[in-house]
Amino acid sequence: MFQIVNKGGKMKVIELLAEGFEEIEALTPVDYLRRAGIETAIAGVGQTCNGSGGISGGHKIRIECDFSLTDCLCSNAKSDLPDAIIIPGGLNGAKNIAKNQAAMSLIKEMNENNRLVCAICAAPIVVLAQTGILKGRKFTCYPDMEKQLEDFVPDAGKISELMEGSELIKDKAAVQDGNLITARGPGAAEEFSMAIINALCGEKTVQQIKVQGCLR
């Protein structure tokens, strides 16, 4: 099992949020990770977050971000990458992240530096497929999203190359393969969150959070 080795300091996680995100998938991991003592910040993609009134999800719930992704990238050195990045689903939210060059560059850099890359619902297909991160990996996604790959990979001729050796797992809510964690949809948000906590902090912390939350 892949686990982050923290060499001092507090774990840091960034969640990317763009207009049209899926609310359950966005809020559940942030809530659970903060309960686990993991410093988790929400970075707005495609807007400044300065008095903007927040970002609206697919069900019209607005969330105020901690900062904009642009501000975050300007104020942090490349060597100061977070331990994990979370990409929630919601088709429109995932599309907006995929269109943002800064977000896509950060996701690729995280993977290249063996940091945890976590995506749920539409995000594995809409966001990750075009980066090549799914190549040779086991993953899952929202049911039947894999059939729409041609709609979301800019160069459809490269799909075979980008997805070479990948394996779609349909019978698990959340799947981990190395530094990649993926999950199916809103109903898998809790399991997705626990997989992230396990990768960052270990099973003991997962069990503590489950007891606190009256989870089975």
pLDDT digits (tens, 9 = 90+) for 4-19: 545 455 779 999 999 9
| Mean pLDDT for the chain overall | 91
User: 3-state DSSP helix/strand/coil percent for the chain, to nearest 5?
Assistant: 45, 20, 40
188 bridge partner residues: none
Quick check: is 74 catalytic? Answer: no
Domain boundaries, the chain: 12-210
Which of 49, 72, 118, 121 is an active site residue?
121
- Of all residues in the chain, the percent with pLDDT exceeding 90 is 81
Backbone angles phi and psi of 173, in degrees to 5: -70, -35
- Helical ranges in the chain per DSSP H: 23-35, 69-75, 91-98, 101-112, 123, 149-152, 159-162, 189-201, 203-212
Please write the tens of the pLDDT for every residue from 96-117: 999 999 999 999 999 999 999 9
Task: Flag whether the pTM goes above 0.75.
Answer: yes
Which residues in 25-53 are b (16+ Cβ under 10 Å) and which e?
bbbbbbebbebbebebebbbbbbebeeee
pLDDT one-digit tens code per residue, 122-159: 999 999 999 999 999 999 999 999 999 999 998 878 99
Please, is 206 exposed, middle or buried when counting C-beta atoms within 10 Å of its C-beta (0-12, 13-18, 19+)? buried
pLDDT the model gives residue 156: 78
Q: Cα separations (Å) of 216 from 8, 25, 29, 90, 207?
A: 32, 20, 17, 27, 10
Tell whether the torsion through CA atoms of 114, 115, 120 and 124 is positive or negative: negative
Comparing 80 with 14, the larger pLDDT belongs to 14
Superfamily for the 12-210 domain: Class I glutamine amidotransferase (GATase) domain (3.40.50.880)
